[in-house]
Amino acid sequence: MTGFQRIAVLGSTGSVGESTLDVIARYPEQLRVYALSAYSRMDKLALQAAATGAEVVVVPDAAAAQRFRRAWAGTGPMPQLRVGAQALADTAADPGCTTVMAAIVGAAGLPAALAAAQAGKRVLLANKEALVAAGSLFMAAVRQSGAELLPIDSEHNAIFQCLPQGGHAGAPQRPAEGVRKLILTASGGPFRRMDLEDLHQVTPAQACAHPNWSMGRKISVDSATMVNKGLEVIEAHWLFAMPADRIEVVIHPQSVVHSMVEYEDGSVLAQLGQPDMRTPIAYGLGFPQRLRSGVSPLDFARLGRLDFEAPDLKRFPCLALSYAALRAGQAACITLNAANEVAVAAFLEGRLPYTWIARVIEAALEWQAGRPSVTLDSLGDVLSLDGQVRVFAGNLGLA
Ligand code: NAD
Ligand code: MG
């Protein structure tokens, strides 16, 4: 491991955040929590802060700060309490931390993830929406600051591990030598076999019941529609400087092969393991060393078989929309992501049928394609377009 690390876990109360704290706790001599952040669930945040001895906690607003103080009462000296989105970005760039786990969900995590990259931290990137919305800015920041970028999304972590020399923890300018294509695996989610006519009726609870992974609600719905895989294609494009036509998606229902790299000589390297985020998280924390993660080994005899099939684009229109957005450019990617976030939130609140998620994305992409082109050279430009898409999608009767 690269010496002693002081870690800011952004989104610590979430699924990836909790798994991160689990791995950190296994190495008390080398890994320390410097800061924690959460948007809600202040009780849980207070428990985490007490258990880890975090020096800093970041919460979204004064009301949350009040709830945190109440939850903390009587626990001892309180960590430094910072409030608001700017404080979150400042904490990610704070000289007090060496390493930032970007595990906030959605484009809301972009400013802090970008701040960590600009400050030259070791950035463990789970927050894929940050790259989808601002891939070029983010990778330029990594290049300029010399930040160490380690992909945590399991597919990208797998690819990173299968690239020559175990991948280079920076921002490549071109595809790795000798690589023909990247193959992302996808479970196909809970609706892989459901009759297409029945999809209209599915509930948030059904969509969130992922067959293999236990995750936050937004990414669970994204996995059901497979927009998650689409976002991951865009993420892979930026992380590995790979053009869209050299990134393939294959359905693999067991989620044991986490992704693959195909080389010019016909070799295909794959990374396998249990579907448990502690493996990629431990890889990112320990790189270039291997840490214990608490994940149980694979039992191949029990697995028996591994299956693969091509994704059905009629069932998963969001996958085709994602490829189209990547080919169309950054404004389309921002649009795809923001429209999806609005649509998924509406679906989770029971205001939008499942099958309309793809329709909202498609309508937003058409709207964006018909507008004059915009410059996207700064975080402000990106957030401005993101906000306009949210207004557009909200005006479809979703807000
Ligand atoms: P989650 O919903 O379980 O947790 C999200 C965290 O972000 C929480 O701590 C929440 O308080 C915080 N948060 C939410 N909105 C916020 C806002 N507006 N401002 C600041 N903080 C906010 O999500 P998750 O499943 O842990 O996913 C986190 C990210 O990691 C997502 O981008 C997801 O796509 C990615 N990811 C998750 C998994 C997984 O297994 N869960 C796997 C791969 C990638
Ligand atoms: Mg993934």
| Per-residue pLDDT at 111 exceeds 80 | yes
- pTM of the shown model: 0.98
Is 216 in contact with 14 (CB distance < 8 Å)? yes
Confirm whether residue 40 is marked as ligand binding: no
- pLDDT band at residue 165 under the 50/70/90 scheme: confident
pLDDT value of position 41? 97
Q: Which of 47, 127, 215, 239 to mutate to test the pocket of ligand 1 (most atoms within 8 A of CB)?
A: 215
- The tens digit of pLDDT for each residue in 279-307 reads 999 999 999 999 999 999 999 999 999 99
pLDDT in tens, 306-332: 999 999 999 999 999 999 999 999 999
128 is in an annotated binding site: yes
Q: Taking the C-alpha atoms of 56, 57, 59 and 64 in order, what is their torsion angle to the nearest 10 degrees? A: -120
Annotation-wise, does 228 bind a ligand? yes
What CATH number has the domain bearing residue 76?
Answer: 3.40.50.720
Residues 6+ apart with CB under 8 A from 276: 19, 293, 295
Q: Does residue 232's CB lie within 6 angstroms of at least one atom of ligand 1?
A: no
Answer yes or no: is 254 within a domain. no
Which ligand 1 atom sits closest to the C-alpha of 38? 11
Average pLDDT score over residue span 151-163: 98
Neighbours of ion ligand 2 (CB under 5 A): 153-155
Query: What share of the chain in percent tops pLDDT 90?
Result: 95
- Residue nearest atom 42 of ligand 1, based on CA coordinates: 153
Contacts of 312-319 spanning 24+ positions with Cβ under 8 A: 314/196, 315/191, 315/192, 315/196, 315/199, 316/225, 316/226, 316/229, 317/358, 317/362, 318/225, 318/226, 318/227, 318/230, 318/357, 318/358, 318/361, 319/226, 319/227, 319/229, 319/230, 319/249
| 389 is known to lie in a ligand binding site | no
Q: Does 35 contact ligand 1 (Cβ within 6 A)?
A: no
Q: Could you tell me the distance, in angstroms and rounded to a whole number, from the CA of residue 150 to the centre of ligand 2?
A: 14
Query: Which among 58, 33, 34, 32 is positioned nearest to 45, based on CA atoms?
Result: 58
pLDDT at 346: 96
Token pair for 281: 């998280």
Asked if residue 212 belongs to a domain, the reply is no
CA 154 – ligand 2 centroid, Å: 5
What is the whole-number distance in angstroms between the Cα of residue 126 and the centre of ligand 1? Answer: 8
Q: Of 124, 151, 178, which residue is a domain's last?
A: 151
* Residue 377 resides in a domain: yes
Q: Per the domain annotation, does 56 fall within a domain?
A: yes
Q: Which ligand is nearest to the CA of 113?
A: 1
Q: Is 17 in the pocket of ligand 1 (CB under 6 A)?
A: yes
Whether residue 181 is annotated as binding a ligand: the answer is no
Q: Would you say the CB of residue 48 lies under 6 angstroms from ligand 1?
A: no
- Specify the pLDDT at position 345: 97
Which of 125, 151, 177 corresponds to the end of one domain?
Answer: 151
Domain count of the chain?
Answer: 2
Q: 380: domain CATH number?
A: 1.10.1740.10
Decide: residue 362, CB within 10 A, 0-12 exposed, 13-18 middle, 19+ buried.
middle
Last residue in a domain, options 116, 151, 186: 151
The answer on pLDDT for 214 being more than 90 is no
Contact (Cβ atoms closer than 8 angstroms) between residue 41 and residue 13: yes
Nearest CA to ligand 1 atom 4: 14
94 is in an annotated binding site: no
Phi, psi of 310 (to 5 degrees): -75, 145
How far apart, in whole angstroms, are the C-alpha atoms of residue 223 and residue 213?
10
399: pLDDT strictly greater than 60: no
With a 6 Å cutoff on the Cβ, whether 153 touches ligand 1 is yes
Only one residue has tokens 């214990």, namely 292
Q: Are 145 and 228 in contact (CB under 8 A)?
A: no
| Residue 350 domain flag | yes
Q: Which residue, among 26, 23, 29, 30, has the nearest Cα to 4 in the 3D structure?
A: 30
**320 occurs within a structural domain:** no
- How far is it, in rounded angstroms, from Cα 151 to Cα 134? 16
Q: For residue 271, is it within any domain? A: no
Ligand 1, atom 20: closest residue by C-alpha: 39
Is the shortest distance between the CB of 14 and ligand 1 below 6 Å? yes
Q: Is the pLDDT of residue 121 over 90?
A: yes
pLDDT of 6 higher than 70: yes
Ligand-binding annotation for 220, yes or no, is: no
277 lines ligand 1 (CB under 6 A): yes
Mutation probe of ligand 1 site: the residue of 61, 68, 105 with most atoms within 8 A of C-beta: 105
Q: Looking at ligand 1, which atom is closest to the CA of residue 217?
A: 2
> Does 148 belong to an annotated binding site?
no
Tens-digit pLDDT profile for residues 368-398: 999 999 999 999 999 999 999 999 999 886 6
- Answer yes or no: is 207 within a domain: no
Q: Which domain holds residue 103?
A: 5-151
Atom 9 (ligand 1) nearest CA? 11
CB within 8 A of 375, min separation 6: which ones?
381
Percent of the chain residues past pLDDT 70, beyond the cut: 99
Average pLDDT over the chain reads 96
